[in-house]
């Protein structure tokens, strides 16, 4: 499994994480799928609707997810997944992340250290929801 970010998509994701620090940012990935490869062409910044503990958690409402699906359709793209940042923590999914994830989607996580975006890693939840498989990230 491989995920490719266009330079614009990765730049936008990193800028979003920098702007939201010290809180977790979150958003949607729009793009194309070619076999087991996903090509992220655009991100949509979504609001972290979590009321408290926003430094460690994020929440996307069903309305935001539907909006992202509609936007993808309008552009002739697919909703490939959802990204979020981990302020001052590694780019590894937490148990909370696993409990709230769905199979199929890609889940890139960007570690942000002292306000600066750092390591970007991407994950897909296993079908049995027992854990993740890491996707190989490639840049265009």
Phi, psi of 31 (to 5 degrees): 175, -150
Task: Identify the pLDDT of residue 118.
Answer: 98
Structural domains of the chain, count: 1
DSSP per residue, 33-88: EETTEEEEEEEEEE----SS-TTT-----HHHHHHHHHHHHHHT-EEEEEEEEEET
CB atoms within 10 A of CB 5: 25
Task: Identify the pLDDT of residue 136.
Answer: 98
Cα–Cα distance measured from residue 69 to residue 66, given in angstroms and rounded to the nearest whole number: 5
Phi, psi of 79 (to 5 degrees): -85, 110
Q: Which domain holds residue 103?
A: 2-139
Task: Identify the pLDDT of residue 139.
Answer: 87
Distances (CA, A) of 64 to 46, 61, 70, 103: 7, 5, 10, 18
Positions of the chain with pLDDT lower than 50, given as ranges: none
Element containing residue 8 per DSSP (H, E) = helix 7-20
What CATH number did the domain enclosing 66 receive?
A: 3.40.140.10
Cα–Cα distance measured from residue 99 to residue 17, given in angstroms and rounded to the nearest whole number: 22
Task: Identify the pLDDT of residue 140.
Answer: 80
Element containing residue 139 per DSSP (H, E) = strand 132-139
Cα–Cα distance measured from residue 32 to residue 39, given in angstroms and rounded to the nearest whole number: 5
């Amino acid at each position: 499994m491989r995920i490719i970010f266009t330079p614009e998509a990765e730049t936008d994701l990193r800028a979003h994480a920098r702007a939201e620090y010290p809180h977790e940012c979150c958003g949607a990935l729009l793009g194309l799928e070619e076999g087991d490869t996903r090509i992220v062409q655009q991100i949509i910044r979504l609001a972290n609707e979590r009321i408290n503990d926003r430094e460690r958690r994020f929440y996307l409402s069903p309305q935001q997810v539907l909006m992202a699906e509609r936007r993808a359709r309008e552009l002739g793209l697919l909703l490939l997944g959802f990204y979020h940042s981990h302020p001052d923590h590694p780019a590894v999914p937490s148990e909370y992340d696993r409990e709230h994830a769905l199979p199929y989607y890609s889940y890139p996580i960007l570690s942000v250290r002292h306000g600066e975006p750092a390591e970007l890693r991407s994950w897909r939840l296993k079908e049995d929801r027992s854990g993740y498989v890491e996707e190989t990230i490639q840049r265009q």
